[in-house]
Amino acid sequence: MKKDLISNQAQLDDSGKLIHLLGLENLPKSYLVDILDKADNLIDSKGNLKKSKALDDMSVANLFFEPSTRTRNTFEIAAMRSSANVINVDLANSALKKNEALMDTMHTLKAMQIDMFVIRHKQSGLPHHVAQHLEGVSILNAGDGINAHPTQALLDMLSIRQRKSNFEDLSVAIVGDITHSRVAHSDIQALKTLGTSDIRLIAPEGLQHDSSRCEAVRCFDNIDEGLKDCDVIIVLRLQKERMIEADIPNEQEYFDNYGLTPERLALAKKDCLVMHPGPINRGVEIDSAVADCPQSIVLQQVTNGIAVRMAVMQILAQNS
C-alpha cells in the first residue's frame, strides 16, 4: 500500500464530521476528547457497561483478515450492546479465496446493506484504501499492518485518564517492539495530541523507534534508565519472529534485559500504572507478579475497550 494512501483526511467529511476512524495522526484533540468523554459516559458508577439503542437497525460487519480474539470479540460486544446487527464474515471460505478482488467483496457487502466495516489487515493502509474507494459505509480500523491501531490507543488513553489528573504532566514509558507495533505508533500519536511531552520508548536497538520521525519522544536501550520516575508503563507484546530480526537469541534473554519485574517497577513512581494490550506473555515481557499487582490495570483496559468501541461506533452512526 502506498504511503500516500495512509491519509487521515479520509476520516472527515466536507463539514469536518468524523465518518471513519482510520488512525489518530493529525486528528484534532477535540475529536479524541469527545470519544473519551462518550466512552466514559457508557460506564456506570460501578464500572459496568451501559446498553444503548444508538445502532438500532444498523449492521456492522467484522472483517478480520488476521487472527484476533480480544479485538474482534470486543468490537462484536460493543456493536451488540449498541443494538446493532453483527455479521462476522467468514473470510476463510469467502470469495476472496476464489481470487475475487477485495474491493469487489467490499462492494458486495455494501449491497447487503452493511453500515459499518471493522477491518483488520496485515497490509498497512488497507482500511484507508477501502474508505477512499467505498462511499456510504463507515470504516473502523481494527489494526493495519504495523501502521495503526486507533481504538487500542483510545482505550489506553481512557484507562490513563480515569486515574491521572491530566496528560501534560505525565511521564509515559512504552516498552518492547516499538518498530513493528501499531499499538505503540497509535499510543504515541494519542499522547502527543493530548499534551504529553515526556514519552519514553524502551527497546533493544533492532526494535527501537526512529526518533527522527517524532520529536516528542526519548529513546532508551536501558530499561532501568527509561523507567525511572514514570507515571505509566505500557508493555508491548513481543512476537517470536521479531526476536530473530532483532538478534535476540531467546525469550529468557529478552526478559532478563527488558522484562518488567517488581524490581524494575519499583524504579517508577509508587502509583505508576502498568498496562498491556494483551494477550500477555508472562515471563517474556512481564513478570506474573507485576501483571497481577494492584498497579496493573490490564483487565480494566479490556472493559474500556468495549466502551471506546461503542463510543466510536455511535459517533460514526450519528455522523453518517
Q: Compute CA distances 269 → 6, 62, 264, whole Å.
A: 37, 40, 11
> What does the pLDDT read at residue 314?
97
Q: Is-contact 132 105, C-beta < 8 A? A: no
Binding-site entries for carbamoyl phosphate: 70-71, 120, 149, 152, 278-279
Return binding residues: 70-71, 98, 120, 149, 152, 182, 237, 278-279
Domains observed in the chain: 3-148+302-319 (3.40.50.1370), 164-296 (3.40.50.1370)
Distance CA 229, CA 176 (A): 18
Binding-site residues for L-aspartate sit at 98, 182, 237
Q: How far is CA 193 from the centre of its chain?
A: 15
- Rg value, the chain, Cα: 19
Inter-CA distances, 185 with 146, 192, 197, 201, 243, Å? 8, 11, 15, 11, 19
- Helices (H) and strands (E) in the chain — how many of each? 12, 9
Task: Give the pTM.
Answer: 0.93
Cα–Cα distance measured from residue 111 to residue 101, given in angstroms and rounded to the nearest whole number: 16
145: which 3 cell numbers? 499492518
Q: What is the pLDDT along the chain (320 residues), one digit of tens a residue?
A: 344 445 555 799 889 999 999 999 889 999 999 999 999 999 999 999 999 999 999 999 999 988 888 899 999 999 999 999 999 987 766 656 555 688 888 899 899 999 999 999 999 999 999 999 999 999 999 999 999 999 999 999 999 999 998 999 999 999 999 988 999 999 999 999 999 999 999 999 888 877 665 567 999 999 999 999 999 999 999 876 666 665 676 888 899 999 999 999 999 999 999 999 988 999 999 999 999 999 999 999 999 999 999 999 999 999 98
Q: What is the DSSP pairing of strand 232-235 with strand 273-275? A: parallel
Residue 4 pLDDT: 42
Q: Among 201, 154, 157, which Cα is nearest to 180's?
A: 201
